[in-house]
């Protein structure tokens, strides 16, 4: 991974790099771009983008786009969709890079029009409605982008479009199609990453994070993509937050892969069998990598200037690290009481997330009024959900459940707030023998106010991807899903408790 904190201001035109044109390093524009018959879009800065980054607006606001609806969609992407898609992560890819390429690559432009139209539809829809109605503009431009992609022979550009296609399929709710695009993109990335430094800098981090969602939403091991970051050589020190994230993302993906391999030893027919030495070796390797990352990151934080307010990117990163640590230590644990060793870590995570919320509602902060309904990256929902289902301190998990709604977005990648909040609420009710109200607060006396015994605990859960809607005689709408909760008997047998959970 190249250092991202270099003092060098310009490294040449990004456009020249992807189109394999020798850049003349002219400033402020590359004259060789002009000689090819189009206007240069300028140079990409190497320095880390500040948190107050303004979105990139092409100089002449799409002068070559004649269709009014298409032009409007591009402008909406610049103003609203692009700056929001990254969630707590660096928005540079969405606010700068794709906009730069949309000016001369039709596949990119058509993809942005499709994303923008779908995003606007999500933003306008009631929060209870997650599935999109027909959107002819979005689908027609998606088809045009696919047609353009078929004639491409530029693999780095194909990778960029692949990310945009994944975003479209996620907005449409097409899990399997999004997973297939992700798997294909990872294969291409392996072949081109070393040859194109800008690809490694701007696209690899996104693919590293994208490889997580097939492990949660895939239909089986055949859906899992190849793991990235297996050959990482961590530097002696981190020069930027983005560099630290890059290496953590590789470790987290490997951790989730280990957890998936451990499913059979925790829940399946291998739970009475010894864990193979190769899996234990993987566990040791990942544990060592996490410790190494933490040491490097602590040094980086000590040297970095202090921030006047809680940083959402930093908080999200630290929560992912903490959860990865617990994951790797419990990858093969059959007894759910093993998680009780980490109660202090769970409480710390909830405290950090609460600080982010308090920062959002601080005086003069308008974040709450501008919260999007969809982000492409994973935000806080899955992280807080993990605390809800694995921390058995009732007070802490109730607070984490509330923070899911306070910090979460209606849809984060394929994670949906309504279904995950409902599932988390039901897990608490089952384990503590308690009822919670619609706000997730205790409404009856808990049967287990303290740590519940192992046989009361939910091992894992599954929910249907499709909600059902019921309308009663008074016209009141009720939404819910079928859910299954893996539990064990006193004798140690695993069984599935199926029921309907209502979404609020």
> How far apart (Å, rounded) are the C-alpha atoms in residues 455 and 247?
38
pLDDT-derived band at 477 (thresholds 50, 70, 90) equals: confident
pLDDT-above-70 percentage for the chain: 82
What local confidence, expressed as pLDDT, does residue 162 receive?
96
- The answer to whether 114 and 131 are in contact (CB under 8 A) is no
The pair phi, psi for residue 235, each rounded to 5°, is: -70, 165
Comparing 303 with 398, the larger pLDDT belongs to: 398
Q: What's the pLDDT at 478?
A: 82
Q: Which of 273, 303, 334 is the last residue of a domain?
A: 334
**Residue 125, SS3?**
coil
Query: 8: which residues sit within 8 A by CB, 6+ positions away?
Result: 46
Q: Are strands 494-503 and 477-488 parallel, antiparallel or unpaired?
A: antiparallel
Q: What pTM did the predictor assign?
A: 0.84
CATH of the domain at 305: 1.20.58
Residues 409-451 pLDDT 10s: 999 999 999 999 999 999 999 999 999 988 889 999 999 999 9
The CATH number for 42's domain is 4.10.240
Compare 200 and 166 and report the one with higher pLDDT: 166
Question: CA 351, CA 359: separation in Å to the nearest integer?
Answer: 12
CB-based contacts of 413: which residues, under 8 Å, 6+ apart? 170, 213, 375, 376, 377, 378
What gap in Å lies between CA 196 and CA 192, rounded to an integer?
6
**Candidate from 23-32, 413-422, 465-474, 481-490 with smallest mean pLDDT:** 23-32
pLDDT at position 226 is: 72
**Do β-strands 460-463 and 477-488 pair in parallel, antiparallel, or remain unpaired?**
antiparallel
Query: What is the crossing angle of helices 417-432 and 394-407, to 10°?
Result: 170
Percent of the chain with pLDDT over 90: 60
Give 305's contacts (C-beta < 8 A, 6+ positions apart). Answer: none
**Taking 80 as the threshold, does the pLDDT of residue 225 lie above it?**
no
**483 in a domain, yes or no?**
yes
Residue 16 lies in a domain: yes
Domain-embedded: residue 27? yes
Assigned domain for 304 exists: yes
Whether 54 shows a pLDDT value over 50: the answer reads no
- Number of domains, the chain: 3
Q: Taking Cα atoms as reference points, which of 382, 384, 394 lies closest to residue 456? A: 394
Structure tokens that stand for 182 in this block:
């992700």
Per-residue confidence (pLDDT) for residue 269, from 0 to 100: 83
pLDDT tens digits along 133-148 = 578 899 999 999 999 9
d(CA 334, CA 268): 10
Tell me the three state secondary structure of residue 502.
strand
CATH number reported for the structural domain that contains residue 460 in this entry: 2.10.70
Final residue of a structural domain among 283, 310, 334 = 334
Query: 221-235, 249-263, 396-410 — which is least confidently predicted?
Result: 221-235
Torsion angles phi and psi, residue 187, rounded to 5: -65, -45
| Least confident segment among 37-46, 283-292, 310-319 | 37-46
What per-residue confidence (pLDDT) applies to 365?
A: 54
Q: Is the pLDDT of residue 1 over 50?
A: no
284, 314, 334 - which closes a domain: 334
What gap in Å lies between CA 44 and CA 496, rounded to an integer? 53
58 within some domain: no
The answer to whether residue 43 is domain-embedded is yes
Average pLDDT over residues 252-267: 92
pLDDT mean across residues, the chain: 84
User: Coil, strand, or helix at residue 90?
Assistant: coil
Question: What is the reported pLDDT for 124?
Answer: 83
**Dist. CA 199–CA 193, nearest whole Å:** 6
Does 75 score more than 80 pLDDT?
A: yes
CB 80 within 8 A of CB 117: no
DSSP letter at 222? G
Give dist(CA 380, CA 316) in Å, integer.
7
DSSP letter at 451 equals P
Number of Cβ atoms within 10 Å of the Cβ of 340: 15
Q: State pLDDT tens for residues 338-376.
A: 999 999 999 999 999 999 999 888 755 544 456 789 999
Q: So what's the pLDDT on residue 11?
A: 41
190, two tokens: 């392996």
Q: Parallel, antiparallel, or unpaired: how do β-strands 468-471 and 477-488 relate?
A: antiparallel
Mean pLDDT throughout 261-290? Answer: 92
Query: Whole-angstrom Cα distance, residue 95 to residue 84?
Result: 9
Please give the torsion angle defined by the CA atoms of residues 401, 403, 409 and 415, in that order, rounded to the nearest 10 degrees.
-30
- Strand ranges for 212-257 from DSSP E: none
| Whether pLDDT at 385 is above 80 | yes
Burial category of 212 from C-beta neighbours within 10 Å (exposed 0-12, middle 13-18, buried 19 and up): buried
Angle between helices 136-150 and 68-76 (to 10 degrees): 90
What per-residue confidence (pLDDT) applies to 454?
A: 93
Angle (deg, nearest 10), helices 241-261 and 312-329? 30
Give the residue numbers spanning the domain of 268: 230-334
* pLDDT, greater one: 219 or 482: 482
Q: Which of 29-33, 232-236, 317-321, 464-468 has the lowest mean pLDDT?
A: 29-33
Residue 113 falls inside a structural domain: no
Dihedral over alpha carbons 278, 283, 286, 290 (to 10 degrees): -160
Cα separation, 398 vs 228, in Å, equals: 35
Domain-located, residue 121:
no
Report whether pLDDT(326) > 60.
yes
Alpha-helix residue ranges (DSSP H) falling in 262-276: 263-266
């Amino acid at each position: 991974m190249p250092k991202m904190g270099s003092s060098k201001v310009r490294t040449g035109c990004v456009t020249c790099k992807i189109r394999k044109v020798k850049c003349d390093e002219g400033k402020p524009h590359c004259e060789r771009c002009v000689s090819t018959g189009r206007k240069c879009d300028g140079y990409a800065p190497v320095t880390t983008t500040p948190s107050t980054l303004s979105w990139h607006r092409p100089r002449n606001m799409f002068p070559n786009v004649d269709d009014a609806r298409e032009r409007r969609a591009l402008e909406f992407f610049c103003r609203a969709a692009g700056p929001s898609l990254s969630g707590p992560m660096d928005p540079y890819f969405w606010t700068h890079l794709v906009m730069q390429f949309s000016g001369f690559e039709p596949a990119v432009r058509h993809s942005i029009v499709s994303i923008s139209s779908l995003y606007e539809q999500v933003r306008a829809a009631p929060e209870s409605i997650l599935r999109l109605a027909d959107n002819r503009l979005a689908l027609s431009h998606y088809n045009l982008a696919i047609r353009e992609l078929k004639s491409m022979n530029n693999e780095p550009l194909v990778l960029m479009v692949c990310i945009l296609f994944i975003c479209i399929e996620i907005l449409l709710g097409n899990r399997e199609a999004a997973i297939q695009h992700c798997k294909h993109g990872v294969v291409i990335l392996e072949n081109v990453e070393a040859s194109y430094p800008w690809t490694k800098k701007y696209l690899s981090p996104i693919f590293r994070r994208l490889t997580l969602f097939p492990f949660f939403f895939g239909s089986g091991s055949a859906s899992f993509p190849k793991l990235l970051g297996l050959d990482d050589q961590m530097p002696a020190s981190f020069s930027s937050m983005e560099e630290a994230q890059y290496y953590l993302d590789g470790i987290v993906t490997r951790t989730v892969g280990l957890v998936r391999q451990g499913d059979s030893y925790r829940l399946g027919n291998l739970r009475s069998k010894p864990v193979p030495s190769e899996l234990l070796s993987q566990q040791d390797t990942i544990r060592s990598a996490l410790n190494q990352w933490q040491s490097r990151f602590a040094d980086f934080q000590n040297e970095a200037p202090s921030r006047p307010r809680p940083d959402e990117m930093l908080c999200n990163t630290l929560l992912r690290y903490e959860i990865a640590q617990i994951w790797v230590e419990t990858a093969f644990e059959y007894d759910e009481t093993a998680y009780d060793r980490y109660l202090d870590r769970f409480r710390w995570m909830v405290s950090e997330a609460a600080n982010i919320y308090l920062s959002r509602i601080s005086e003069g902060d308008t974040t709450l009024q501008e919260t999007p309904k969809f982000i492409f990256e994973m935000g806080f929902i899955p992280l807080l959900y993990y605390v809800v289902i694995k921390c058995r301190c009732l007070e802490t998990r109730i607070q984490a459940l509330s923070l899911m709604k306070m910090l979460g977005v209606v849809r984060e990648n394929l994670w949906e707030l309504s279904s995950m909040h409902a599932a988390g609420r039901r897990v608490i009710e089952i384990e503590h023998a308690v009822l919670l109200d619609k706000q997730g607060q205790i409404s009856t006396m808990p049967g287990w106010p303290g740590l519940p015994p192992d046989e009361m605990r939910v091992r894992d859960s599954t929910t249907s991807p499709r909600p059902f809607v019921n309308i009663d005689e008074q016209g009141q709408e009720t939404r819910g899903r079928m859910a299954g909760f893996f539990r064990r008997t006193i004798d140690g047998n695993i069984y599935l408790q199926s029921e309907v959970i209502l979404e609020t």
